[in-house]
Amino acid sequence: MMNAAAPFVSARSTPPKPEIEVSAIVVNYNGRELLRTCLQSLRTALAATDAVAEIVVIENASTDGSREMLASAFADVRVIESETNLGFAGAAQRAIAEARGEWLFYVNNDAAVERTAIAVLLAEARCHPQVGALAAHMRFADRPEIVNSSGLEIDSLGIAIDIGVGGRACDVPQTTTEVFGASAGAALYRRAMLEEVGGFDSSFFMYLEDADLAWRARAHGWLCLQVPGAVVLHEHSRSAGHRSDFKYFLVGRNRVRMLAKNATSGQLARYGALMVLYDLAYVCYALVIDRSSAPLRGRASGLREWRHYRSMGSSRRPVKLAPARGLRSALARNASVGPWSDRLR
């Protein structure tokens, strides 16, 4: 599978358009040096495949010299410049229109892709027509023996969880397994799936847009695989402040939006009271520990929009969700990954 180096499509020339199999997508906002490392790893990883490929950077109006660095050091990269910061969700959605690949490999600008990761993902992708997404095996860059994410699950309370977070990488089974969904921090998505389910919800701006996408994909019958051999090292939460009011607000708001769009009436009737108790406990925790009312304000904002987002979920179908683990489990996950955790929902 890993024969000659894959050709890249240059943004500086206009050759006959090839059939591009994979587009590697990076969203960047003021992450110049992180982006440089990420793109260097992508060049190496794509060259280790037999696919015709391109690298696309959605440049979210950075002011730190990222655009100048791209122009001088990465002539083989297509740069799509936005006049405003679209957030991850908006930029990821724009990439679907701008990229030309059958498969879109999204990776955070604060991550480095190991040499064989994309080749391993593509090998699995080509074998499974019902698979709409494949999750890479993300580890913490500063602690590569510890798992950052081996895919996503969503429990019956609508809480999104990174599978394996805080666990030892050596304990992860070395066989490809089905999971609920993929973290967009490092995942390969089938274009056909993205187009069928509507892609990323741009209004989320950032946080939980990948969980919302995974839920909709499952409701449409698409499967997701976790591929342990596709290793990506992640500088966790380097692109946004951990436990900041900004993040707390968006996570709280987007959690409510995701539930409004995807939870069935039966799920809300059965688990609604427990959802409220969980969120009250979470809000109290943030008030006491971080003296932040942002989680409460985010949830209140989401509730004010409930009818609008509920109307967007007209194609809701029941899907199997994981058993609820509760607040104690969330706190344990937060403690296990250290100060850069961003998956305590």
Report the length, in residues, of the chain. Answer: 345
Domain-wise residue ranges, the chain: 22-234, 245-340
Nearest residue to 122 via CA among 24, 235, 11, 27:
24
Residue 185: strand, helix, or coil: coil
Q: Averaged over 168-179, what is the pLDDT? A: 94
Q: Which residue has the tokens 């389910």?
A: 197
What pLDDT, on the 0 to 100 scale, is given for residue 273? 97
Q: Which positions ≥6 away from 312 have C-beta within 8 Å?
A: 260, 261
Q: Averaged over 112-136, what is the pLDDT? A: 98
The first and second tokens of residue 308, run together, are 């609008």
Q: Which positions ≥6 away from 127 have C-beta within 8 Å?
A: none
CA trace torsion 200, 206, 208, 213 (10° rounding): 0
Bridge-based pairing state of the strands 186-190 and 131-140: antiparallel
Amino acid at 329: S
Crossing angle, helix 245-262 and helix 209-219, to 10 degrees? 10
Mean pLDDT of the chain: 90
Residue 291 has pLDDT above 60, yes or no: yes
How would you label 54-82 residue by residue, b for 16+ Cβ within 10 Å and e otherwise?
A: bbbbbbbebeeebbebbeeebebbbbbeb
pTM: 0.89
Determine the CATH number of domain 22-234: 3.90.550.60
Bridge-based pairing state of the strands 160-162 and 152-154: antiparallel
Per-residue pLDDT reduced to its tens digit, 95-107: 999 999 999 999 9
Per-residue pLDDT reduced to its tens digit, 242-252: 578 999 999 99
